[in-house]
Amino acid sequence: MPTVSVSVARDVTEAIKAPRAIFLPWPMGHHFGVPFHRDIQRRVLFEALKLLETATESGTIRDILIRWAEVRREAKTLTDQGRNL
């Protein structure tokens, strides 16, 4: 069955040799971003689904280079808008 993994630990994903994975440089427990940030959560899912369709080699890890500082800044903006983070 085709699988795709969402990883924040590239070294662990390399060691277990996942067939397909996207890597995000984000903290443990935040694989899909920050609370209530629907757009970033969906973006991670779309990146994973895209890799399901496009990977041609087992062991493919695609780096999604969205910096954590950027995600946190956007989370702060959500907080400023009154979201209860």
Task: Choose between 81 and 84: whose C-beta lies nearer to other proteins.
Answer: 84
Verify binding: residue 26, other proteins, rule CB under 8 A: yes
Structure tokens at 62: 């695609």
Strand partners, 32: none
Q: Is 85 in the site for other proteins (CB under 8 A)?
A: yes
DSSP conformation letters of 15-37 = HHT-SEEEE----TT-TT-STT-
Residues 36 to 75 in contact with other proteins, rule: CB under 8 A? 36, 38, 41-42, 44-45, 48-49, 52-53, 55-59, 63, 65-69, 72
What values do phi and psi take at 20, rounded to 5?
-140, 140
User: Does 82 participate in binding other proteins (rule CB under 8 A)?
Assistant: no
